Amino acid sequence: MTRSPARPGTRAPRTTRAIVVRAVLLTLLALALTFALDPFRNYQLAVIAATFCATAGLTLLVGLTGQLSLGHAVLMAAGGYGYALVAGPAAEAGLGGTARFALGILGALVLSAAVGGLLGLAGARLRGPYLAGLTLALVIALPALTTQVPGLGKDQGLGVPFEAVPAPLAGLMVVEQWHAWIAVVVAALAVTPLVVLRSGRAGLRMRATHGDEVAARLAGISPARVKVGAFVVSAVAAGLGGAVLAVVTQSVSPGRYSLAFSLLLLVAVVVGGLGSIGGAAAGAALVVLLPWLVEALTSAGGLSADLEQRLSGNLALAVFGALLVAVTVVWPGGLAAASAGPRGRLARALRRSRADDGPGPTSDAAPAPASDPTSDQASYQAPDQTPDPLPITER
């Protein structure tokens, strides 16, 4: 795999300790931020944090191993149902507080890891579009699954026990802020291991598998194991996000985890920059806030009722689609690349898209190993991810 020298200005996390320290600082910052927000903004922050869990896992999966999952909503749903199926009975059994929450989270972990593992096994055998097809069929089948499997509450879903503000904090905050705290902390716990993995050997293996499976195999890496591992890790993160959403909204139902939501997660990671965790955070904020912003704009604009009704919902969708197209075509690094030096990236992207004009996409048909770092967006992250020469502890 060819490698460009690390550019100045990129901050690649070097050691696990540095990553954890940074994560703790960011988490504390986010927790402090909640005091500046009103309840609705705190609710939005909680939803963003939950979505971030899923996009962080997805960006790793798509960006590093090159597996396109259209079913990440199902993995979030698995986490949500896992939580509800354990926390609900726990509440009925009289259990409360931290124990119930922890058990619920455990349920979310188990169920999402199981679903992720199965998908990973499929992903290890299937190539791009075939995996996309399978995950698409899965996300379409989710409502049917919840209707047909007893105990999943059909289309109304399941209720989730209410998590009140603990007594010592009750004077400090209202329930929305407490839920934002839960969401931020769980997101930190879900995402930090991903960052550690990404910057360590596991990340290197993922990129190697994506770059050239044969070469990876020669280097002693088992592509199947790497792919399954990536899927499970990504699924667990998404599942934690689903559990958080279940807690925050006190319910889990199939309607939330539709194909449209799966595609929005994809929008988030592409616009954020494939492979970039920071980009995944920005993308998560974008998909949560943009529809609300657009709605606020259209309803404030003094439009006719009919036009407002037609724009409502559709306009945000159009913006998402346009962003997805524009970022992929013009600006393949996404927001992450933008923050790392917009001009250089843009110029490179333009140069490359011009260079590709001639042959046209058919040249793909040639079984060219994608060893060229410009072969897709994912590899754009390569410079940031130059592996540490020193062995890194993977915990």
Partner 1 sequence: MRNHTPVPTPQPGRSTAPPAVRATAAASAAVVALTLAACSTPAAATPGIDDDSVKVGSHQPLTGPAAAGFSSISAATKAYFAYVNDNGGINGRTIDYVVKDDGYNPATTQSVVRELVQEDKVFAILNGLGTPTHSSVLDYLDQNGVPDLFVASGSTTWNQPDEYPGTFGFNADYVVEGAALAQYARDEDPDAVVCVLGQDDDFGETFLEGVELALGADGVASYQTYTTSSEDVTAQLGAMKEAGCEVNLLATINGFTAMALGTAAQMGWSPQWYASSSGGDYPTLVGFLGEEVGPALLEGFVSANYLQNSPGSDWYELFQQINDEYNDGAPFDGNTVYGMSVGYLFAEALAKAGDDPTRESLTEAVESGALVGNGILPLTFGADDHAAYDGVGIAVVTGGVQDFVGATYRVDGDAVAAAEPAPVPLENEGIPTP
Partner 2 sequence: MDRLVLLVSTGVARGLVIALFALSLVIIWRAARIVNFAQAAMAVAAVYVAFAVQQATGSYVLALLSALVVGALLGVAVERGLMRHVAGRTPMPGMIVAIGLVMVLQALLGIFFGPKHRPMTPVLSEAPLYVGDVPVLSRYDLFVLLVALVVVVGLGVLFNRSTLGLQLRASAVAPEVSRLLGVRVPRMVTIGWMLSSAVAALAVLLLVPTELGLNAHSGDVLFVHAFTVAVLGGLDSPAGALVGGLVVGVLISLVTGYASAGLAPLAVLALLTCVLLVRPGGIFATKEARTA
Q: Specify the residue, 191 or 323, whose C-beta has the smaller distance to partner 2.
A: 323
Complex with partner 1: residue 143 or 387, whichever CB lies closer: 143
- Ramachandran quadrant class, 220 (left: phi over 0; alpha: psi -120 to 50; beta: rest): left
- Helix, strand, coil shares, percent, the chain, to 5: 75, 0, 25
The H-or-E segment that residue 132 falls in is: helix 128-148
- CA 157 to CA 237: how far, in whole Å? 22
Nearest C-alpha neighbor of 188 from the set 59, 336, 52: 52
Q: Which of 1, 19, 43, 221 binds partner 1 (CB under 8 A)?
A: 43
Residue 194: CB atoms within 10 A of its CB come to 23
# of chain residues touching partner 1 (CB under 8 A): 51
The whole-angstrom separation of Cα 303 and Cα 284 is 29
| CA dist., res. 113 & res. 264, Å (int) | 22
360 or 391: CB nearest partner 2: 360
Q: 318 contacts which partner out of partner 1, partner 2, none, CB within 5 to 8 A by kind?
A: partner 2
Q: Which does 94 bind (CB under 5 to 8 A by kind): partner 2, partner 1, none?
A: partner 1
Report residue 30 as tokens: 């986010």
Among 63, 71, 104, 161, interactor with partner 1 by CB under 8 A: 161
Rounded distance, CA 163 to CA 294, Å? 31
Residue choice 118, 140, 185, 346 for contact with partner 1 (CB under 8 A) = 140
Of 174, 307, 329, 355, the residue at the interface with partner 1 (CB under 8 A) is 174
Give the nearest distance from C-beta 105 to partner 1 in angstroms: 17
Stretch near partner 1 under the rule CB under 8 A, chosen from 22-30, 248-256, 355-363, 366-374: 248-256
Determine if 22 is a binding residue for partner 1 (CB under 8 A): no
Handedness of CA 8, 22, 48, 289 (dihedral sign): negative
Taking a C-beta distance cutoff of 8 angstroms, is the pair 120, 227 a contact?
A: yes
Picking from 73, 240, 52, 233, the residue whose alpha carbon sits closest to that of residue 146 is 73
Q: Which is nearer to partner 2, 96 or 129 (CB)?
A: 129
Residue pair 42/352 in contact by the 8 Å Cβ criterion: no
Backbone angles phi, psi at 356, to 5 degrees: -85, -10
CB 87 to partner 1: min, Å: 9
Minimal distance, residue 306 CB to partner 2, in Å: 8
* Span from 107-115, 276-284, 289-297, 328-336 in contact with partner 1 (CB under 8 A): 289-297
Which amino acid does the sequence have at 389?
Answer: P
Interaction of residue 170 with partner 1, rule CB under 8 A: yes
At residue 336's C-alpha, the angle toward residues 42 and 183, to 5°, is 25
Contact call for residue 102 and partner 1 (CB under 8 A) = no
CA–CA separation, 259 and 80 (whole Å): 16
Residue from the set 31, 121, 189, 312 that interacts with partner 1 by CB under 8 A: 312
**Measured from the CB atom, is 88 or 273 closer to partner 2?**
273
Which two tokens mark 260?
A: 């449209």
Could you say which of partner 1, partner 2, none residue 255 binds, taking C-beta under 5 to 8 angstroms by partner kind?
Answer: partner 1
By a kind-dependent CB cut-off of 5 to 8 A, residue 344 interacts, out of partner 2, partner 1, none, with none
List residues near partner 1 by CB under 8 A: 38-40, 43-44, 47, 88, 91-92, 94-97, 140, 143-144, 147, 154-157, 159, 161-162, 164-167, 170-171, 174-176, 249-251, 253, 255-256, 258, 260-261, 291-292, 295, 305-306, 309, 312-314
